[in-house]
Structure 1
Amino acid sequence: MKIQFSHYATGAGVATDLVNTSARVRTDIGEVLTTPQALTAFLAEHDVRLDALPPGTAPTEDDLAAVLALRQETRALLEAATEDEVAEGANRLTARATSDLSLLRDDDGRLQWHIATTPGASVADELAALVGTGLLGVLHTLGHSRFRPCQSPTCTGLFVDTSKAGRRCYCIPNLCGNRLHAAKHRARRRDAQR
């Protein structure tokens, strides 16, 4: 199978969002990946198509359990203290299912990365190949400093900053950033009313 992605940011984005589906981070709504259907929605939201899930095939409870274990491995990589730890761990993730990495033309004639995975690879292993490759790309191109904790004081989320400027502050900007800005606004209003 070939997982197509246009840039390492794809895999890094999946890594970020996967880590931030946990109840540990999503204290507002709890665990996001509670069922195989929730995993299907997560993959669709990120436009991830895996050979382990041919069209019309849903992930199983075992697939979900393996992806939740992958989430813990990915979180450990985002928390890693050194770039060597990240490289070693991301290489392990990539090796779980990758048989080839190529730059090929897509149907529209654009050059796209394709990760060929081993036949019979599981959902979690194919996803690990995508995540690992994305993390390696960020590590090589942007550096270890782009692996960060959320700056919201009430959040335990992590993210990989693939933005051009490298100034991202929040794991889920429209949630953590908005919460912090709303809290500051309420504090200013309280202070002004005194």
Structure 2
Amino acid sequence: MNHEHAFVCGHPALDFAATLRARRTVRHEMFSAPDRLDAWFVESGLVDSVTPGDDDDVERAKALREAIYDLVTARRLEREYDEEALSLVNDAARKPPATPQLTRTGRRTEASAEQALSTVARYAVELLSGPDVPLMKECDNPECTRIYVDRSRGTRRQWCGMESCGNRFKAAAYRARKKSAQATASG
């Protein structure tokens, strides 16, 4: 399976929230179809297999994602939680989660979309009530709106991921410095 989804945020709930990319500009939707949502659940490692979802599952997933993003943003900016977002996440978390089972070959987690969404919601509850809250940061790339957990030494990480944003920014900064140096040399 080729992995189209990125998991750079350091937490499943934040990776889930990041499936709507570049929120302030082009808004790139990763859950464009039910199979993309199903793929995310499996690629994230939350489940080994998921019952194929439908358009309603995609709509529920998007609503949960936006609620998680709202709550994470509120917590990061030390604002009050939006009541609707809070209810949506708590309602999803109350549903039965994906449950691992022991098989002859090891552990296997099969789930419906609802169970997988419940698992994501429970991760969000844990994150937002846990010790990593002060470590949540938004990527320094102004076009990227991913929020990640910064567990770097001295919490000095700037980018959601080097491949996705860091290298692009460093290359642009290098080109700008080189151009500036050439202008200075020729002037």
Matched, 1:44 2:42: yes
Residue of structure 1 aligned with 2:86, choices 86, 89, 92: 89
Q: Unaligned regions of 5+ residues in structure 2, if any?
A: 1-8
1:148 counterpart SS class: strand
Give the alignment of 1:116-131 within 5 angstroms: 123=113, 125-131=114-120
The alpha-carbon distance between structure 1 residues 47 and 151, as it changes in their structure 2 partners (threshold 3 A), is same
Q: CA–CA distance in 2 between the matches of 1:129 and 1:162?
A: 25
Higher relative contact order (CA 8 A, sep 6+): 1
2:176 counterpart SS class: helix
Q: CA–CA distance in 1 between the matches of 2:56 and 2:171?
A: 40
* Runs (4+) off by over 4 Å: 26-29, 104-107
| Bigger-Rg structure (1/2) | 2
Deviation at 1:68, TM superposition (A): 1.0
CA RMSD of aligned residues (A): 4.0
Residue of structure 2 aligned with 1:20, choices 15, 18, 35: 18
Deviation at 1:63, TM superposition (A): 0.8
Q: Unaligned regions of 5+ residues in structure 1, if any?
A: 1-10, 113-120
Deviation at 1:139, TM superposition (A): 4.1
Residue of structure 2 aligned with 1:158, choices 136, 143, 146: 146
- Identical columns (%): 25
The alpha-carbon distance between structure 1 residues 95 and 105, as it changes in their structure 2 partners (threshold 3 A), is closer
1:184 maps to which residue?
173
The alpha-carbon distance between structure 1 residues 23 and 158, as it changes in their structure 2 partners (threshold 3 A), is closer
Q: CA–CA distance in 1 between the matches of 2:134 and 2:121?
A: 17
Residue of structure 2 aligned with 1:73, choices 67, 82, 94: 67
CA contact (8 A) 2:140 2:159 kept: yes
1:47 counterpart SS class: coil
